Amino acid sequence: MKNGVLALAVLISMGMTSTAQAKQDVCVFDLLGKAGESYKMMEEWRLAAKGWNADIQLIAYQNEERADEDFKAGKCDAVYMTTMRARSYNKFAGSVDALGGVPSNAIAQKAIVYVLDKRNIKRLKTNIDGVDYEVGGIGQIGPAYIFVKDKRINTIEKGVGKRFAVLEYDKAQIAMVKRVGAIPVPSDVSDFVAKFNKGQADMVGAPAYAYKPLEIEKGLGQTGAMVDFPVLNVTADLIFNTAKFPMGFGERSRTWFIKQLPRQFAMVKRLEDGIPAKYRIDLSKEEREKYQKLLRDGRIELTKQGIYDASMMSVLKRARCSVDRTNFECSLGGE
């Protein structure tokens, strides 16, 4: 009997050791591959994860679609990619980058911290085709601005009939571009700026993170400009297969991501400061309000279509109005 108990104890111990030592492959998308800021942050996350009984190997991707495909195929146990693409795994977290929903870093901070709060644990878990997925973190990439080939395209009306490079998998972008009367040019993260640079698109939306790596300056030339109004806040989500990671891993990971936010916002500021002032177009108060109304109407419609999560739209509105109580939308219903 004693031998049987001893053998059972040894087997349990071996099982626990095996679980602790199980390796996890994580696909990481970064425009610059291993040289990028996102990948470097994930390297630090990997080291921290050792303390959470995870033994992680990062796999760098400069093609986001391939990273997602490999994750779906089970070649990776988790994936770190833009929230726009990750929305298909979790609409709640995936709506934090709603068009016009997060117009400043102060609001972004509030929104991301709220999403990752332990009170939202159920909302951060989904089951798709029998697989349990969980959001393990949200990283800040930065506000996206509209870059134009011709600085005379400085109002919404002047964008009518212009070609706008959009991410073809993001229905929200496509719908919004059509709403302003522009022509969507279907693209991927790997080529959306290239189409702008080559003259295949007159306009493109991108964060400062992409400015130097994707050589947006080439597309701007002598006549181009950046409209200094953030149309959306670009973030990245860590999505993982819950069964492949130790118990409690998600909560520890999310806590770690929240602690990185101040550093990430500092990175965004540094990258934005690197864009020459000569390219910036400041909008009038009237024009800014036009953009805000357009984006608000778009969010409401996209939420009705089921693209955005309704509860997240309410959260974002509260965050916006807590920072700017004089905003016209704060007295309006609908979100």
Residue range(s) occupied by CATH 3.40.190.170 in the chain: 23-141+235-272
The C-alpha atoms of residue 129 and residue 112 are separated, in whole angstroms, by 27
Amino acid at 290: K
What local confidence, expressed as pLDDT, does residue 5 receive? 43
Helix pair 249-273, 37-49: axis angle to 10 deg: 150
Angstrom distance (rounded) from CA 282 to CA 279: 10
Per-residue confidence in pLDDT tens, the chain, 335 aa: 444 444 444 344 434 443 444 699 999 999 889 999 999 999 999 999 999 999 999 999 999 999 999 999 999 999 999 999 999 999 999 999 999 999 988 899 999 999 999 999 999 999 999 999 999 999 999 999 999 999 998 888 888 999 999 988 888 889 889 988 999 999 988 889 999 999 999 999 999 999 998 999 999 999 999 999 999 999 999 999 999 999 999 999 999 999 999 999 999 999 999 999 999 998 888 888 888 999 999 999 999 999 999 999 999 999 999 888 888 889 888 88
Give the pLDDT of residue 302: 93
- CA torsion, points 228, 98, 81, 123, in degrees to nearest 10? 150
Query: Span 144-233+282-308: which CATH code?
Result: 3.40.190.10
Between 3.40.50.300, 3.40.190.170, 3.40.50.2300, 3.30.365.10, what CATH number should domain 23-141+235-272 receive? 3.40.190.170
CB 196 within 8 A of CB 219: yes
User: Is residue 80 classed as helix, strand or coil in its secondary structure?
Assistant: strand
* Segments of the chain assigned to CATH 3.40.190.10: 144-233+282-308
State how far the Cα of 141 lies from the Cα of 64, in Å rounded to an integer: 15
Residues 233/142, Cβ–Cβ less than 8 Å: yes
Give the dihedral sign, CA 185/231/219/154: positive
Rounded-to-integer distance, Cα 300 and Cα 41, Å: 34
